Amino acid sequence: MSPTVIEVKDICKTYFMAGGTSQSVLKHVNFTIHSGEFVAIMGHSGSGKSTLMNILGCLDRPTSGEYLLEGQNVANLSDADMAKIRGKRIGFVFQNFNLLMKRTLADNVSLPLIYQNVSASARREKAFQLLEHVGLKGYEDRLPTQISGGMQQRVAIARSLVNDPAIIFADEPTGNLDTRTSNEIMDLFTDLNKQGITIVLVTHEEDIADYAKRLIMIVDGQIQYDGLRGEYKP
Amino acid sequence: MIFQILKEAWISISAYKMRSFLTMLGIVIGVAAVVMMVAAGQTVQNEITKTFDSMGTNLIIIAPAQTVSGGVRGGRGKPTASFDDVESLRSLPDVETASYVVVTAAQAVFGNNNYGVQIFGTTPEYLKVGNWEIETGIPFTEKDVKAGKPYVLIGQTVVDELFGLQNPIGKTLRLKGKPFTVIGVLKEKGDNLMGDDQDNIVMMPVTTVRQRLKGSNRPQYADIAFVKVTQEDKMETVSRRIEYQLRARHHLKEGTENDFSLHLMTDMVEKVRQIGFILSMLLAAIASISLVVGSIGIMNMMLVSVTERTREIGTRKALGAPNRWIMVQFLAEAILISFIGSFVGMILGVVLSQVAGRLYDYDVPISIWSVVISASVAIIVGIISGALPARKAMRLDPIEALRYQ
């Protein structure tokens, strides 16, 4: 068995609201993700999948429970330490790409490395290498406004790879793309996964989830199904 | 890392050129205004100092005391320093020289021209005391004083008004119908602090004035006397010695008031300089109001920028930017704007004040203050106006920020 990347133990997330009411968004969630897996997390809006994603991405903390990322408990780290983990061990791909519009593609790809004090020449070299990897060789000094949405998402994927992360979180990565481009992007993810990169995909689209091998279905803050994508029967 | 932050700040600023330029303009105008006002203040101070230098600063002036009758102080009393009094002061320690003046005025006539002039009856020493130089010709001598010779030295204004382009040396002008021979022309001095023309002057031996122009029942007394002190720091000491000497010579008993008054030129210079300094500070203070307005402009722009770039901030945070980095980045943008603004403002201020100086014929100093002011403005304004927006950016929750549309 390949090494464990993520281990979630009994995680709960409760939002406390003014007036003393509270709302449980995640209830006793448990699962493990191993290196090289391609997991789709599915659920309807309001199911808690985004909250789970934020906790897994070290953007948020669980109310209770343990979250081990590569064996380190990151559930209760300080803001600064969480930022460090995000910068070094996690790659993000967002629905709306979130590229910096005034920077070149190469600058966008290498952006996370700025916060790791990597030299400008090393950053640029790495950015060129990754842009080539996602099929954008020759576009290094273009601006995001000069390329299509599908290409922008490729840039974002290159950016998520720049810090050699333990895992990539893709949050509805095809939500803003047409079907053909969506399939191209998903093919790219599949390729990356074949090269050994661990990917967690959050989506509500059945056919996008089909690209993943494993499915975690969230309903009302609880895992309703966790197993092979092909064996899931709604 | 600092270089990286500055580079990021520069890219962000240059991404919104028009907005950044207009924001900078506030600081440019503010700093330029302060630099120009300080330059104006310093020019005034310099002009004052120059005027005093033209009269000599190490001077003690002996004037008549104020009259007192029935406890009421009136105007200046009768002249109380005699020629001999003043001569006796020359031998005091630390006194370079001393002289005295009998002042009058008359209409000077030469050919078809006439002009109202001020007349100083004095001794050859007065040239030294009053920092006068001879432009052409020769001064009168002690001998001429003793003999009461009708020799006069005239100022540049008198030359212009009476002689025009003619050489006045050797010519005879008339005062109250009496002839006087011009033996020398005094070098130009310009106006004094009250705006009086110092070059409208006819200087002659004091005896000549007494005999021909201004008789007196006390002919051996001066209207005003001057003592030139060797060094500025001896002014107080010499002043006390003069007081002692004159009281003794005037046989004043203990407890009676002086029948003369002493004025130290250094005190006057100091007072006027202080006024000049206060003036320039006041001008600068008024000008700095525009700096306050300018820095509010920066703060406003930065706050808009933080809101506009909420998604960018969220992205950066998600990609591992520490809060500190985000804060420093926005602070750096504010500082960079104010830095460029103050640099341009400093140059503009210096250039404009030099141009104004040329236009109005003043020597305007380029002072180290303009650099000090603009550098401190750059940092202080940048930090103050950047702090609030930077804090706001730092505190953004990355999850909220990423969701922001």
pLDDT digits (tens, 9 = 90+) for B32-66: 988 888 888 888 888 877 777 777 778 899 988 87
Contact partners, residue B247, CB within 8 Å, separation at least 6: B258
- Please judge whether B318 and A86 are an interchain contact, meaning their C-beta atoms are less than 8 angstroms apart: yes
**pTM of structure:** 0.73
- Please judge whether B317 and A115 are an interchain contact, meaning their C-beta atoms are less than 8 angstroms apart: no
Instruction: Give B365's pLDDT tier (boundaries 50, 70, 90).
Output: confident
CA gap B316, B6 in Å, rounded: 16
Instruction: Give A230's pLDDT tier (boundaries 50, 70, 90).
Output: confident
Could you give the 3-state DSSP secondary structure of residue B287? helix
CA dihedral B278, B280, B285, B291 (to 10 degrees): -160
- Report whether A5 contacts A90 (CB < 8 A): no
Total number of residues shown for chain A: 234
The values of phi and psi at residue A180, to 5°, are: -60, -50
Residues of B within 8 A of A112 (CB-CB) are 319-320
The single residue listed with the structure tokens 């704007």 is B337
pLDDT higher at B280 or A85? A85
The values of phi and psi at residue B124, to 5°, are: -55, -30
DSSP labels, B231-268:
SGGGHHHHHHHHHHHHHHHTTPPTTSPPSEEEEEHHHH
Instruction: Quote the minimal CA–CA distance from B51 to chain A in Å.
Output: 60
- Report whether A30 contacts A223 (CB < 8 A): yes
**Interface residue of B10, B309, B315 to substitute, partner A, most A CBs within 10 Å:** B315
Nearest residue in A to B14, CA atom:
A102
Residue-averaged pLDDT of chain B = 88
Residues of A within 8 A of B322 (CB-CB) are 80, 83-84, 115
% chain B with pLDDT above 90? 48
Residue type, A17: M
pLDDT of residue B69: 59
Nearest residue in B to A89, CA atom:
B320
Helix A79-89 × helix B310-318 angle, to 10°: 70
Render the burial of B172-182: b for 16+ CB within 10 Å, e for the rest.
Answer: ebebeeeebeb
Nearest partner of B266 among B299, B300, B229, B291, judged by Cα: B229
pLDDT digits (tens, 9 = 90+) for B3-15: 888 888 898 888 8
pLDDT of residue B256: 85
Torsion sign across C-alpha atoms B386, B391, B394, B399: negative
**Measured CA angle at B368 (ends B363, B372), to 5 deg:** 140
Render the burial of B184-212: b for 16+ CB within 10 Å, e for the rest.
Answer: bbbeebeeeeeeebbbbbbbbbbbbbbeb
How many beta-carbon pairs below 8 A join chains A and B? Answer: 57
CA gap B343, B351 in Å, rounded: 12
Residue B158: is its pLDDT beyond 90?
A: yes
Instruction: Quote the minimal CA–CA distance from B30 to chain A in Å.
Output: 30
| Greatest C-alpha distance within chain B | 105
Residue B74: is its pLDDT beyond 60?
A: no
Instruction: Quote the minimal CA–CA distance from B319 to chain A in Å.
Output: 5
The single residue listed with the structure tokens 């009708």 is B150
Instruction: Report, as an integer, the average pLDDT of B129-155.
Output: 92
- Report whether B8 contacts B329 (CB < 8 A): yes
Alpha carbon of residue A117 to chain centroid: 23
- Report whether A218 contacts A47 (CB < 8 A): yes
CA gap B400, B312 in Å, rounded: 12
pLDDT digits (tens, 9 = 90+) for B294-326: 889 999 999 999 999 999 999 999 999 999 999
Torsion sign across C-alpha atoms A174, A176, A179, A184: negative
- Strand pairing partners for A215? A40, A227
- Report whether B102 contacts B122 (CB < 8 A): yes
pLDDT of residue B70: 59
Contact partners, residue B278, CB within 8 Å, separation at least 6: none
What's the helix, strand, coil split of chain B in %, to 5? 55, 20, 20
Residues of A within 8 A of B320 (CB-CB) are 83-84, 86-88, 112, 115-116, 163
Instruction: Give B76's pLDDT tier (boundaries 50, 70, 90).
Output: low
Residue type, A215: L
Instruction: Report, as an integer, the average pLDDT of B350-379.
Output: 84
pLDDT digits (tens, 9 = 90+) for A156-205: 999 999 999 999 999 999 988 999 999 999 999 999 999 999 999 999 88
Residue B293: is its pLDDT beyond 70?
A: yes
Nearest residue in B to A114, CA atom:
B4
Residues of B within 8 A of A59 (CB-CB) are 318, 398-399
Helix (H) or strand (E) holding B61: strand B59-64
pLDDT of residue B75: 58
Helix (H) or strand (E) holding A149: helix A149-161
Total number of residues shown for chain B: 405
- Report whether B95 contacts B89 (CB < 8 A): yes
